[in-house]
Amino acid sequence: MKFAIRKYRVRIGPHPHSDDGFFIFLGDPPSKRLCWSARSRKIPTFRRNNGKMFHLKSQSWLTPRDKLACLGLPVTSATATAMGIPIIPVKDRLRAGSVTGNSFHFATAACVQLVALSCYKMDRDSF
């Protein structure tokens, strides 16, 4: 983690501990592959390995529930209310953690499906 902080100070600025959006993925050795949100301002891709996501400002790890919330799943009351559905309870931390690995936002998947279906034209000869 010290390597990532040093790199942040060189590339971005002197105060990584005050950056609200600075997350570091600690599943890979930072000196070989640095996965962070410093440049893109986006949380790095969740993977299924044992690596953990660390938020430097709050000095805390992202929990499986936090990861599900990042993906837009209604695990918080605010998200569920906005979607008009009940909260999805997170009862099994291990299962919730495995669901977030190598995944992308469901809203993105829904948008891709909508575009694909709207571009599709039924042809009478295709029956």
Per-residue pLDDT of 97-119, as tens digits, reads: 766 766 555 566 566 666 766 76
Q: For the chain, how big is the Rg over CA atoms in Å? A: 19
Whole-number average pLDDT of the chain:
78
CB 84 within 8 A of CB 98: no
Q: What is the DSSP letter of 115?
A: H
Tokens of 96: 């919730």
pLDDT at position 30 over 90:
no
**Distance of alpha carbon 13 from alpha carbon 7, whole angstroms:** 9
Instruction: Determine the pLDDT at residue 58.
Output: 92
Could you give the C-alpha distances from 33 to 29, 65, 104, in angstroms and in order? 6, 26, 21
